[in-house]
Structure 1
């Protein structure tokens, strides 16, 4: 689903209802901003409806519950993260290019879209208690890993990089490293990230190297 497509949520014990694209995007955007600012518990339908410029009843009518709306936020952010990752890795012609693309993507995430990092960790906490959110978050992680693994496979098959393990395993390690670094840098905003990033790049080079 792209960020501009209509969202088609299912309301429990009722028919599938289609919310037109503009209002759907405004509602999902408002929930995303609210969770980053207030946390999931504090993001009521009243807050979201007011910030989206729609009625509270409309949120209930189309999404049914806050959890279902949060699931739609996860799905939309999946598209955003995958598109950003693809843009960073598209022009890689060496192992250094590939790693530099990953570092740029992490820097842009932490410096330009820290709300997304906050949202992901909020949703992780919620996923421990809500199966619907857990399934959506797991799907996001699978898609991210599969996309990165496909890029690694493509570059390996083109003879651009040599991998230290299977593409899916390398992708999993790199994404875990990025998530951990994002949390660390946002937790310690005064920390100079340069030495940590240099160490992370050195670790990545053990998994992604130039062809022998």
Structure 2
């Protein structure tokens, strides 16, 4: 992982991250990871692709890890927000399950780099408590948003949750992350039956009848 510039630590990530330049930087990092992998996605490559100076990267993000977290955060927020409308429109438990399964499948199909970054940051977080805290916060916010959607469906009578929503979502996220790791490791295997099994487990968790 690339270290921070002199005098710029992980707290640099607390600066306001907004504007077109920051979006270009985040997009450039995502593209570099897809093309070069995590190790090859250096600040030099990212700054060149984004059309900004390395100094600006250090100013906004401080470290390569912080930039990776920002990429992951924006991607996660976008993908979870995309669940809001179809979940709100779901009229049956099967509708809810279909939305959740499709969301997970779309990430694996369209943006497997999301999981590559996630696993890289998990590894880095084992040695860096700041990264671990950032990643934990990202998980927490994502869980809360999906759990709120499930609670609304429970209140509407669409679902009948067997356990509290937070616990169910924690399990679902863990299953999705673990399944993604296996599928990225062995992409030639047919996982259709595994997806069906996961849907049945979700049905058990979401319906008590």
Counterpart residue number, 1:85: 83
Count of equivalent residues:
201
Counterpart residue number, 1:158: 156
Counterpart residue number, 2:63: 65
Matched, 1:120 2:118: yes
Work out the CA distance in 2 between the residues paired with 1:132 and 1:41.
Answer: 20
Pairwise CA distance, 1:94: 0.7
Contact 1:88 1:102 in 2 (8 A): no
Matched, 1:192 2:190: yes
Please list the CA deviations of residues 32-69 of structure 1 after superposition, one character each: whole Å capped at 9, or x if unmatched: 23234434333221111111121222222333332332
Cα distance, 1:13–1:192 mapped onto 2, change above 3 Å:
closer
Give 1 or 2: higher helix fraction. Answer: 2
Matches within 5 A, 1:13-92: 21-92=19-90
Which range is displaced more, 69-78 or 184-193? 69-78
SS at match of 1:41: helix
Work out the CA distance in 2 between the residues paired with 1:87 and 1:190.
Answer: 33
Work out the CA distance in 1 between the residues paired with 2:127 and 2:177.
Answer: 21
Cα distance, 1:85–1:121 mapped onto 2, change above 3 Å:
farther
Counterpart residue number, 2:180: 182
Cα distance, 1:158–1:99 mapped onto 2, change above 3 Å:
same
Unaligned runs of 5+ in 1: 1-9
Cα distance, 1:182–1:89 mapped onto 2, change above 3 Å:
farther
> TM (normalized to structure 1)?
0.84
CA RMSD of aligned residues (A): 2.3
Cα distance, 1:37–1:138 mapped onto 2, change above 3 Å:
farther
Task: Indicate which of 108, 111, 117 corresponds to 1:110.
Answer: 108
Work out the CA distance in 2 between the residues paired with 1:124 and 1:28.
Answer: 19
Unaligned runs of 5+ in 2: 1-7
Work out the CA distance in 1 between the residues paired with 2:34 and 2:120.
Answer: 8
